[in-house]
A and B are shown apart, each in its own frame.
Chain A
Amino acid sequence: MQAFTRVTAVAVPIDLPNVDTDRVIPARFLRKDKNVPEYASFLFHDVRFNADGSEKPEFILNRQGFRGAGIVVAAENFGCGSSREAAVWALAAYGVRSVIAPSLGDIFHQNCFKNGLLPVILPADVAADLRRQLHAKPGLTITVDLEAQTVTAPEGARHRFDVDAFRKEMLLNGRDEIGLTLGYEAQIAEFEARRAREMAWAVPPRAGA
């Protein structure tokens, strides 16, 4: 997994609350391999492109200054709905490294961490103020520093954010989570042995016959 330490990038404001992952990537693209070169074009596809493939000029990522943004500043409950990790893959393919919002869909939030993308929760008024600054002058950058746990606004204010120690360490070092967990093999095996003794009912009968 790609490590995340400190990213400075053009940020795009997305004001709509409750942006669902069907909007982030429509269902018909979920069958696509995430490594295909056109994957970035699936991001926000149906609100970003017309049926003939031309850009919808009103969509914010198609506007001068916001194109190619590497940070998204969203509103409440961004990434709600479907568990599709493809929503994060599409953001990552486009080049987004961090999503800042007052709240995020729980599954989307988890999926970000698995793909080197840092989710940042900031108070609603702070996020709204960041979006205001970005709208005022398209193309401004934000810096997200995971080590220091700060977001530096275009106007210079620095906002501290919380991130739990476990996720922070995994992201800073780009660690493989499965590899880490396999190191707990002894504990897992011991847990299973104890559970088999004390709660034999918890393993379903074979073949269900």
Chain B
Amino acid sequence: MSSARTMFEKVWAPHVVAEGPGGHVLLYIDRHLLHEGTTAAFGRLAKSGRRVRRPDLAFATADHYVQTSPASPGPDAEGRGMIESLARYTADQHIVHFGVGDARRGIVHVIGPEQGLTVPGVTLVCGDSHTATHGAFGALAFGIGSSEVEHVLATQTLWQKKPLTMRISVEGRLATGVSAKDVILAIIATIGAGGGVGHAIEYAGSAIRAMSMDERMTVCNMSIEAGARAGMIAPDATTFAFIEGRPFAPRGDAWAQALAYWKTLPTDAGAVFDREVTLAAADIAPTVTWGTSPQDALPITARVPDPEAVPDAGRRESMTRALAYMGLRPGTPLGEIAVNRVFIGSCTNSRLDDLRAAARVVKGRRAVVPAWVVPGSGLIKRAAEAEGLDRVFVDAGFEWRDAGCSMCVGMNGDLAGAGERVASTSNRNFEGRQGKGARTHLMSPAMAAAAAVTGRLTDVRALGA
């Protein structure tokens, strides 16, 4: 079946404007999301006397540098300058901007889908590596650098070389207490932090199909932590139900036309991928990271690994370095590691499903370490409050904050201290990511909630959740 095509191919091909040399194509971009960290590109564009070609396809919000609580130090003059520059540039160029004070403001990868901007079959870029999140809708979405942001603003296109394709199938049912975050951490541990380099990933299989859109976004979000710029999931009834009626979603005749087209996008039977990986859902347990790369992930029931047991010298050295940074000794049960604080938020895990999962664990218990909940958008915050989730968190001693990237990015004043150990629902446990010297353990919202109420890394299944 030589005509069988992957979903990636079906989205890629209709966006080719022109063929260039060396296999490069000029790829059309349907959606360009902007945040205040990408304002330098506007400055360069203006300086070169070029204009924004399609302001109607660009959408902006402030998330990286914003203050998420009046109690936070908040952005300095330079951070505030970036937030103000974005507001000014977008006003000048007539670009829709969900700025400070707008309830729709939030993390760029949360509000794109929330506003109905993220739909199947489109190409979507943003100057942020977690743009793969939007692939959960069957869009081709990937992060770009500042020069590429400028290029898209000026031309609505990018020169791209077609990546290889990889299908990762997760088959079967996830056990109780196991979430989408555990699935993606298990995938990264399996293929490695560089396993997806040069590839666009399609996540497939019955466990993925059973997920809500919030869960699918968590999976696609961390594609870059496996090395892949893009991760996609086939659109289906779950996808369409999520999109229908959202402010920027197609409507009327356009909706009918879109729906008919979107249904043609899933990968054809017999289509060939450059690489196939299969995981059994039943093998995935609640997972935490112990090191300084997202691939350093193990079931909560495991122990801190011993570098001496690793044959490869390079790997041994990097593990030793990671354990020294993390302040951990080989052989320590992961469930005995005490934490200093808890962060529930980020573009990986700040959506309503995430907050509900955390609240189920927290209800009737008390946080014994400082714990924050940072909703992904103003609208999610509002929806959570309508369900009373804020009361659950506040009654348990958590801080209920405003939307933003907060303690995931280490650039807005929300920082963990040197040596502080954080149970975090974010996406990167790199050295210094949450603050200079801060030690990050990645996990699901339910697991982070469990750590908050026990003060240590905890198997959420032991709490009956």
> Which residues of A are in contact with B by a Cβ distance under 8 Å?
15-18, 20, 22-23, 26-28, 30-34, 46-47, 75-77, 80-86, 88, 103-107, 110-111, 114-115, 164-169, 177-178, 181-182, 184, 187-188, 191-192, 195, 199-209
Which residues of A have CB within 8 Å of B116? Answer: 204, 208
Q: Which of B208-242 contact A (CB under 8 A)?
A: 224-225, 227-229
Cβ 8 A contact of A199, one of B81, B261, B409? B261
Partner of B21, one of A84, A104, A106, A169: A169
Q: Which chain A residues border B161 with CB–CB below 8 Å?
A: 164, 166
Considering only residues 311-357 of chain B, those with a C-beta below 8 Å from chain A are: 314-315, 317-318, 321
> Is there an interface contact between B96 and A208, defined as CB atoms closer than 8 Å?
yes
Closest residue of chain A to B226 (Cβ to Cβ) is A80
Report A-chain residues with C-beta under 8 Å of the C-beta of B26: 181, 184, 187-188
A106–B317 contact, CB under 8 A?
A: no
Q: Which of A46, A107, A195, A202 contacts B129 (CB 8 A)?
A: A107
CB contacts (< 8 Å) of A88 on chain B: these are: 145
CB distance from B331 to the nearest CB of A (A): 24
Decide: A83 near B144, CB < 8 A? Known: A22-B431, A181-B155, A184-B26: yes
Residues of A within 8 A of B14 (CB): 199
Option from B115, B127, B157 in Cβ contact (under 8 Å) with A83: B127
Enumerate B139-161 residues with CB–CB distance to A below 8 Å.
Answer: 143-148, 150-151, 154-157, 159, 161
Question: Smallest CB–CB gap between B422 and chain A, Å?
Answer: 15
Taking the closest CB of chain B, its distance from the CB of A57, in whole angstroms, is: 17
Let me know if B258 and A201 touch, CB within 8 A: yes
- How far, in whole Å, are A166 and B24 apart by their CA atoms in the complex? 7
Complex CA gap A122/B229 in Å reads 21
Alpha-carbon gap, A164 to B21, bound state (A): 8
Interface residues of B (CB under 8 A from A): 14, 17-18, 20-24, 26, 28, 30-31, 37, 40, 48, 50, 53, 56-57, 65, 76, 78-79, 81-82, 96, 115-117, 119, 121-122, 127-129, 143-148, 150-151, 154-157, 159, 161, 163, 193-194, 197-198, 224-225, 227-229, 247-251, 254-255, 257-258, 261, 293, 295, 314-315, 317-318, 321, 409-411, 428, 430-433, 436
Task: Assess whether B257 is in contact with A201, with CB atoms less than 8 Å apart.
Answer: yes
Q: Please, how many angstroms separate the alpha-carbon atoms of A44 and B391 in the complex?
A: 43
Do A103 and B56 touch (CB < 8 A)? no
Q: How far is the CB of B407 from chain A (nearest CB, A)?
A: 11
Report whether A106 and B314 are in contact in the complex, using a CB–CB cutoff of 8 Å.
no
Q: Which A residues are in CB contact (< 8 Å) with B317?
A: 15-16
Asked if A178 and B150 sit within 8 Å, CB to CB, the answer is: yes
Contact call B430/A22, Cβ cutoff below 8 A: yes
Which residues of A have CB within 8 Å of B127?
Answer: 83
Residue from A110, A184, A192 in contact with B148 in the complex, judged by beta carbons closer than 8 Å: A110
